[in-house]
Structure 1
């Protein structure tokens, strides 16, 4: 852990994490001090070291470093009522003046301009950063904006204004010009109404993606991920609070509360958010919507549970190695992990994690800071909860604190084309303790094999979720080409720590090889073993104990084995997963059934459920006396709970 000076733990107020508001303030101060050492003259650009996968260029990366850490500084100072003992706002004010001093062309920049920010254009990274700057200026208005001279204010307006007119990416990006518009309208710099129009247009745009019960899809038909919380909910709710508009509060507040009812279940007992979706290097930004619920008063969570989940997430990453030896956030989950990094990310991208500090806007005497921590949902009881809009089933076990997200609805595929599967979206499941495999052998996947290649899942057609189940269908592809006439219909049944996966393959040639893989576990002392009855891998966890992943063939599979992952996962360089293989029969239904589990050391021995297969009907009898009956047909599933 880097040298952030933390106060003593308080296990009376915070029996689960030991952390209090003082710890949040200390981490914020440590992050700001670390990035400050990399500020360019004038503080307009913060040029962080590290790899640069970003397609936007070094100057854009420097602006990103300024904007995203400015948001952190704003939350820290505004939350302290303007108290700024380290003088961070003064430095960001200097950078604001320097970065906006002269609107420039890219040629001007190449000719030696060393401080001006890149201009905002269509779908430019500068538009994203303009939103963070605008929000930070709103939060710190009494201490920063109101003290600027007229010339600097005009410079800032001139740099921000193009965001109102240029075209964003057609997803959560519509909220970026909206946030710029909200700021300019608030400070009286909306002479022609374009700021208000950008705000109204952005809020109207996201309505087309709202599916109800708190869930938005991120532009693409079925792109569900953490952007629901740290973008679609956070910006409108924060704007509603800053503007004082009761209409907006009454629209977005209840949506956030509905979202949090399911979202709160996706945090493990160790504080980990579910490892799913893009931009995961933002890490504890996952705490942002939790704080937004408390900030707006629209949350199903008790104050002590809110802080427990948020502090758990922050501590999980700080203790887990997310900061390097210089105190900088890296492009990864714990340490750097290039396979999970998107092409738009640069060294400063992880500082959208600043959104996780939203809770500092709540005063120290607010119940969210003074209440005793309460356990999160995953710690209280075993639960299997359907989330119909994204097509997810959230499965948690109190004994080991693990949370599993079974995915039968999110694929991040565009509407007008089919892209290669993304490991961060297309897997059958994701969890708080595992990350996907980036390689030739995917984890949590069922596919058909031809010429050594395994089929991709492609666009997912949800077939529903319910009490302990979720189902979907897809047309498998190899090399971007659909297998003619082939459909895979899948249903997941779950109870306790147990899972039963059922796949019906129709239209495939007899003898076609199929493969089903399980959870990829990473850590120390990775062990792997298999026989004809099961395959299992396990690894030691950083906090102690072993994490195990097992698969048992029930129907259709003829062999069980394990596979070592050369590149590991985001959870460690040494990783392995279990794999089952089989083939489509010459006659009768091609039904494949596997029992699976991901478990810590405190759970029951594997296997547990009793499974009976009759044609295309599957009966599962769980250890607690309950059961499921599932009947599969091509592209259709009927599931009934029994017992």
Structure 2
């Protein structure tokens, strides 16, 4: 991938300009097209197939790279020096000639999500790309080809999506068909259904749940905000969705470390710099609280972060993983072309070259400024940044990956949601290794899992913040639950420190409790006992994380029976530690910090105050 020379006057932090974004898009497209089928309908990238099979994976390669090409060419007002759109026109002509047929070019049909659903995901990228490039591609197709494309796309309107952001895929297809004069009652129903569900998923503070449960993650930016806000931008119709994006970015701006890394949290992390799509979308549409130079700093920072750390292999392709290949970052639906949903980040190219997004001097990333703690009560999240090192920590007291109808089962635990804390420099340990940032009750030698998270509250103080939740511990062997057993958890974040308080209720005789800290290299983090803990050691995670091949996890242990309160001080830093004194009271505890701030955590009900 050949990039232009850095421009440190315009972009003092990253060196990247609009020309770099265009060059990256061209480089990724050129490498991917080396793996095209003869007619260009499939881009069959090398690698392990997804659960959907190689034909769906090939369509995914076509559709997701098409999105990058569409943003690239539409942002250049049709200038297409590499002839990308001609290739996609040939591919769509071949792919829709006889959908469902088992030949070299025919696309798979779009069916229900539990039958053959992945093509529905890709239909949204195809439809959005056609909409963006209408005058240079769609309008030049033969009417017969346009009819075939419409017939294939309508499969997304006639089949059942997954019960989450997938409903926005059919809405995106409907939006394209209406934009080209092919709308009808069927397209209207699809849009009405999707937008209606989106309203029920909105929780406030700019955050949507990804479905009827409590999954809050990066899908907020690259799906739940992107599709409706971009639709409103293309139609010229302002809506509530733009205002919600602005509110979302007020907190989401803190999710990027000083090195450009987004917080490693939630599923589909192999989409990498797609995390920046919401930043670019806000700048493009004017729905952002950020100055243009700060928006570009965040966007270019995360793009460069991944390019500098091996996300693109020697073959020019995005690998399945985080930095480089990393299996623990993947889901069963991840295929060789899945990482190309990173193409969504190129939405920023729709902003013209003379837009302040590209002409203003880069600003400083919010995580590089003063230490900040921000509570997001609607999602049960607590964001903590430290300007000295630019590290972002995310404390999770409200986001899980459990659908409302699913049981609390330890066998369904997802490390990408179940941990108490995540960051821009650490990832959860792999399954089979010790759990990091986890509070476990050990009964009969079996450690509990944290599955369904019930938020209690969150709030901001003066330079500090807190969040609290409770859960019923579940076990992978033996009885799945212990009657009456419950864990209440509180995190108080301040500077680089985290006061972690847990109350156990209903612990059976012989039970033990364990608390683990950050998974890092040796000596890079601290977990110090303050109240209730009697044992302290370190465990090894030989499979490491997305950031290190091998990790050390600090652990505290104690016996527990009935009701008991435990407190510890954690820090993702080996710097000199804060001196905190904790005293227990009849209804909670009091923590006195070295500068005389007193934090009180009380239970029944849970309240956190500081003075």
TM bucket (normalised to shorter chain) is over 0.9
Does 2:28 correspond to 1:31?
yes
Does 2:420 correspond to 1:428?
yes
2-side partners of 1:290 and 1:626: how far apart? Answer: 36
> For residues 106-505 of structure 1, what are the structure 2 equivalents within 5 Å?
108-109=101-102, 113-123=103-113, 124-190=117-183, 192-245=184-237, 249-417=238-406, 418-419=408-409, 420-438=412-430, 439-467=432-460, 468-479=465-476, 481-505=480-504
Which residue of structure 2 lines up, in the alignment, with residue 541 of structure 1?
A: none
The structure-2 alpha-carbon separation of the partners of 1:379 and 1:623, relative to structure 1 and needing over 3 Å to count, comes to farther
Offset of 1:193 from its aligned partner? 2.3
1-side partners of 2:388 and 2:512: how far apart? Answer: 37
Which residue of structure 1 lines up, in the alignment, with residue 48 of structure 2?
A: 51
> For residues 69-108 of structure 1, what are the structure 2 equivalents within 5 Å?
69-104=65-100, 108=101
1-side partners of 2:595 and 2:111: how far apart? Answer: 59
Deviations 1:405-428 (A, max 9, x none): 001111111111224221000110
Offset of 1:555 from its aligned partner? 1.3
2-side partners of 1:195 and 1:49: how far apart? Answer: 36
Q: Tell me which stretches of 4 or more aligned residues in structure 1 moved more than 4 Å.
A: none
1-side partners of 2:370 and 2:433: how far apart? Answer: 37
Preserved contact between residue 473 and residue 486 of structure 2 (Cα < 8 Å) = yes
Instruction: Return the match for 2:12 from 15, 19, 27.
Output: 15
Secondary structure of 1:32's aligned partner: helix
Offset of 1:141 from its aligned partner? 0.6
Preserved contact between residue 172 and residue 231 of structure 1 (Cα < 8 Å) = yes
Offset of 1:607 from its aligned partner? 4.1
Instruction: Return the match for 2:553 from 554, 571, 577.
Output: 577
Range that drifts further, 76-85 or 478-487: 478-487
2-side partners of 1:64 and 1:212: how far apart? Answer: 33
Preserved contact between residue 498 and residue 608 of structure 1 (Cα < 8 Å) = no
2-side partners of 1:269 and 1:339: how far apart? Answer: 24
Preserved contact between residue 44 and residue 95 of structure 1 (Cα < 8 Å) = yes
2-side partners of 1:613 and 1:382: how far apart? Answer: 29
> For residues 549-564 of structure 1, what are the structure 2 equivalents within 5 Å?
549-564=525-540
Deviations 1:60-114 (A, max 9, x none): 000000000000000111111111111111111100100001233xxx31xxx11
TM-score (norm 2): 0.96
Deviations 1:282-331 (A, max 9, x none): 00000100011111111000000000000001000010111111111111
Offset of 1:585 from its aligned partner? 5.2
Preserved contact between residue 591 and residue 616 of structure 1 (Cα < 8 Å) = no
**Which runs of no fewer than 5 residues in structure 2 stay unpaired?**
none
Preserved contact between residue 447 and residue 516 of structure 1 (Cα < 8 Å) = yes
2-side partners of 1:242 and 1:334: how far apart? Answer: 34
Offset of 1:494 from its aligned partner? 1.4
Offset of 1:624 from its aligned partner? 4.4
Deviations 1:437-469 (A, max 9, x none): 122421000011123321011211111001211
Offset of 1:479 from its aligned partner? 1.7
Does 2:610 correspond to 1:641?
yes
2-side partners of 1:69 and 1:585: how far apart? Answer: 56
Preserved contact between residue 293 and residue 363 of structure 2 (Cα < 8 Å) = yes
Does 2:571 correspond to 1:597?
yes
2-side partners of 1:6 and 1:385: how far apart? Answer: 37
Which residue of structure 2 lines up, in the alignment, with residue 567 of structure 1?
A: 543
Preserved contact between residue 375 and residue 466 of structure 2 (Cα < 8 Å) = yes
2-side partners of 1:59 and 1:89: how far apart? Answer: 22
2-side partners of 1:608 and 1:227: how far apart? Answer: 39
Offset of 1:554 from its aligned partner? 1.1
Preserved contact between residue 578 and residue 594 of structure 2 (Cα < 8 Å) = no
What is the alpha-carbon root mean square deviation over aligned residues? 1.3
Offset of 1:347 from its aligned partner? 0.6
Which residue of structure 2 lines up, in the alignment, with residue 518 of structure 1?
A: 517
Which residue of structure 2 lines up, in the alignment, with residue 627 of structure 1?
A: 598
Secondary structure of 1:129's aligned partner: helix
2-side partners of 1:595 and 1:360: how far apart? Answer: 44
Preserved contact between residue 426 and residue 518 of structure 2 (Cα < 8 Å) = yes
Offset of 1:614 from its aligned partner? 2.9
Secondary structure of 2:507's aligned partner: coil
Deviations 1:309-357 (A, max 9, x none): 0000100001011111111111111111112211111110010000011
Secondary structure of 2:35's aligned partner: coil
TM-score (norm 1): 0.91
Instruction: Return the match for 2:582 from 611, 626, 638.
Output: 611
